[in-house]
Chains A and B, each alone.
Chain A
Amino acid sequence: MADRTIKVETLTRVEGEGGLYVRLSGDAVDEVRLEIYEPPRLFEALLRGRPLEDTPDITARICGICPVAYQMSSVHALESALDVTASAEIRRLRRLLYCGEWIESHGLHMHLLHAPDFLGFDSGLDMAKQFPDEVNRGLRLKKHGNQLVDMLGGRAIHPVNVCVGGFYRMPRRDEFQKLIPDFEWGLNAAVETTRWVAGFEFPDFETECEYISLSHPDEYPMNEGFIKTSSGDSIEVSHYEDEFQERHVPHSTALQAIRKSTGRPYLLGPLARVNLNREQLSPTARQLADEVGLEPLCKNPHRAIIARGLEIVHAYEEALMIMRGDHPTGKPRESYSYQAGEGMAATEAPRGTLFHRYVIDEAGKIVKAVIIPPTSQNQAQIEADLKQWVTQVISDDEQQTARQCENLVRAYDPCISCSTHFLNVKIERT
């Protein structure tokens, strides 16, 4: 057979812009490139010289899908530079805010972006004609996530209430209480949703990769912890840049990360988190993981949709626990005074571990910012997995092959706008 390429010019149902290029000689795969052509927005450069207080508002604008993650990593890293420790109350509210973002982002991805692949639709909207109940349920879950971020953060996209040290204002008791009945309904609905997606037909496909996520002895990882790897390492967040490295490849405006010690890519995100922290899932989510038969170490990236469902269940259960608990009191934020220094932090964005490092000066200005978003870390692993997947799905029907490639990429929910520093499939046979 002649050499050929398969190209997807614009990868759809992903956040941001990118394409995919596959070159084959005969049926052998020569090259797979995830091409991120999202124009770079150069955030790390434009933060320099600005007051550190501007950081959570500006970094939120890296991504409209997970602004909370950027805000959380920013404030934690800056607090570490300022030697500020947030109170237990603020910590609890930050987790609550993160629950909202997970419910919103996973809800969106599962129902509007990913499920249509399993059921053969172009979009969630088309799917809604045949599966109105499921899509409406999904939209309601997504809406709850938005309502929670809205309640605590002021608005669902680019919340205004987050600041270094805590929040501008504490939520009121009635704002909490108002959400509880909806969240009780949502917990059950999330369980139903997870059972539904776990019943999809999944392709037989396994990849070998290193899974990486934050981990914490007492809780499912969100804001804090150490970095756990499926190869058995535990890494302090302060050693992040010693262990992981971003490389710049010509075909992408997103940097690609590798593990320094092995020179190999790795995978972050919901599947990695569940694989590494299953024991810390909330009781309902843990039980559900067993019930739907998610393997203890699931190596099939298509099944990440189940991990997302479990994380929604977890987020609802934890959010309910926080909202039913004692209403947070005390001051909304810790005060601080400026000092020159450096601070790092990693938190769990919906798509995986998000690392920030800042150097600040004695006047509280940003001197240097380093932001390592999840998509740029996952990118090299996605390329590696695609290379393997192409050999399994290759056929003479180019459109079909391209579509299968897109399906796999969507399983990772890559957020291309966040790879500040994106998809479209092209298969070439030479």
Chain B
Amino acid sequence: MEQEKPRLAVFKFASCDGCQLSLLDAEDQLLAVAGALEIVYFPEATSRMEDGPYDIALVEGSVTTLHDAERIQQIRKDSKYLMTIGACATAGGIQALRNWADTDEFIRAVYAKPEYIQVLESSTPISDHVKVDFELRGCPINQYQLIEVIQSLLAGRKPRTPQHSVCLDCKRRGTVCVTVAQGIACLGPVTQSGCHALCPSYHRGCYGCYGPAPQSNLVSLATHMEKEGDSRTEISHRLHNFNAYAPAFRNESQRLLEQDGE
């Protein structure tokens, strides 16, 4: 008899579907991965919907409703490994910008009948609610990293994903630094790589879609940007992006805004 394949489930919370689409976008590897795994729950791709337990749960999106805050608890109970995919699930996503605002006012600005809408005041990452075994960064994630992490979980080894900043990849690719050469503001020094330093290769600054790199010196970068003539509000806006609620970006933008308020 064929050995039982590991059961994979894909769940969605508040998100754009881009990260789970990365799995479908791995065209060449998709059928092979689908062969090594049993995809037992993935509403975007299949009408098959099986209950847990699951060996690997991929979770996309952030928690923004009471119902979702409860749903993630059950998913955790049902899953051996729970891995978040993308900036929404890992840091709250762009929708976390409302954590700094009055959510009711936001809803009134968008909906004619705000009373029909029930959401939480904040958008929070999955790890604020349950234990997460692995977080894959990016908005969107990189499909090769996703396949690597799935393979490593299956093989029981540690996933090989980079921890260095985007700058190092600029050097590796031989991209001329856009900050040094053209004075363009770039979050590359404080952003974790995973994109092979994409934006600078398109002659623009990094806008931080992979979130803060470990040990990044945000104060130093912000001070440099201030010296270049950017206002603190401008710099904190730059950090108020897809990973705005990631602790390192959150703290630095807070610091800048408080300084500004003084």
Using a CB–CB cutoff of 8 Å, the interface residues on chain A facing chain B are 10-17, 38-46, 48, 50-51, 54, 57-58, 61-65, 67, 108, 112-113, 116, 122-126, 128, 136, 139-140, 142-143, 146, 154-158, 160-161, 163, 168-169, 246-250, 253, 255, 406, 417, 420-421
Contact = CB atoms under 8 A, between A and B. Distances in A.
B24 A41 contact: no
A158 B117 contact: no
A246 B106 CA distance: 18
Interface centre among A51, A125, A142, A155 (most CB of B within 10 A): A125
A154 B199 contact: yes
B109 A45 contact: yes
A12 B113 contact: no
29 contacts: A12-B43, A12-B45, A15-B44, A17-B12, A39-B65, A41-B14, A42-B107, A44-B109, A45-B106, A46-B101, A57-B207, A61-B18, A61-B139, A61-B242, A123-B47, A125-B31, A125-B39, A125-B46, A143-B27, A157-B18, A160-B198, A160-B202, A161-B204, A163-B204, A169-B202, A248-B112, A250-B113, A255-B112, A421-B110
B31 A65 contact: no
A255 B199 CA distance: 35
A417 B15 contact: yes
Interface string B44-87: 11111100000000000000110010000000000000000000
Contact of B94 (A17, A41, A154, A163): A41
B110 A40 contact: yes
B18 A64 contact: yes
Contacts of B46: 12-13, 122-126
B209 to A, nearest CB: 8
A371 to B, nearest CB: 9
Given A123-B46, A154-B198, A160-B199, A63 B27 contact: no
Contact of B44 (A14, A122, A157, A248): A14
A40 B43 CA distance: 19
Interface of B: 12-22, 24-25, 27-28, 30-31, 34, 39, 43-49, 64-65, 68, 93-95, 97-98, 101, 103, 105-107, 109-113, 116-117, 119, 139-140, 195, 198-199, 201-204, 207, 209, 234, 237, 241-242
B94 A169 contact: no
Contacts of B12: 16-17
A123 B34 CA distance: 12
A45 B103 CA distance: 9
Contacts of A143: 25, 27-28
Nearest 3 interchain pairs by C-beta: A64-B18, A123-B46, A45-B106
B113 A248 contact: yes
Given A39-B65, A39-B68, A12 B47 contact: yes
Contacts of A248: 111-113, 116
Contacts of A113: 45
Contact of B21 (A11, A43, A64, A139): A64
A157 B25 contact: yes
B107 to A, nearest CB: 7
B27 A123 contact: no
Contacts of A123: 39, 45-48
B98 A45 contact: yes
Given A108-B24, A112-B24, 14 more contacts: A13-B44, A38-B14, A42-B110, A58-B94, A64-B18, A122-B48, A123-B47, A124-B46, A143-B27, A154-B199, A157-B22, A161-B202, A250-B113, A406-B47
B43 A158 contact: no
A15 B34 contact: no
Interface of A is mostly: loop
Contacts of A40: 107, 110-111, 117, 119
Contact of A250 (B34, B109, B116): B116
Instruction: Specify which of B64, B111, B234 lies most central, judged by the most chain A CB atoms within 10 Å of its CB.
Output: B111
Contacts of B44: 12-15
A50 B237 contact: yes
B211 to A, nearest CB: 14
Contacts of B34: 125
Nearest to A16: B17
A204 to B, nearest CB: 24
B191 to A, nearest CB: 13
Given A41-B94, A45-B98, A253 B237 contact: no
A11 B95 CA distance: 24
Which of A12, A67, A136, A157 gathers most chain B CB within 10 Å? A157
A63 B16 contact: yes
Contacts of A65: 17-18, 21
Contacts of B209: 158
A248 to B, nearest CB: 4
A168 B106 contact: no
A169 B16 contact: no
A46 B198 contact: no
Contacts of A169: 202-203
A50 B101 CA distance: 14
Contact of B117 (A46, A160, A253): A253
Contacts of B28: 143
A139 to B, nearest CB: 4
A39 B110 CA distance: 13
Contact of A142 (B27, B31, B95): B27
A124 B234 CA distance: 46
Contacts of A154: 198-199, 201-202
Contacts of A12: 43-47, 49
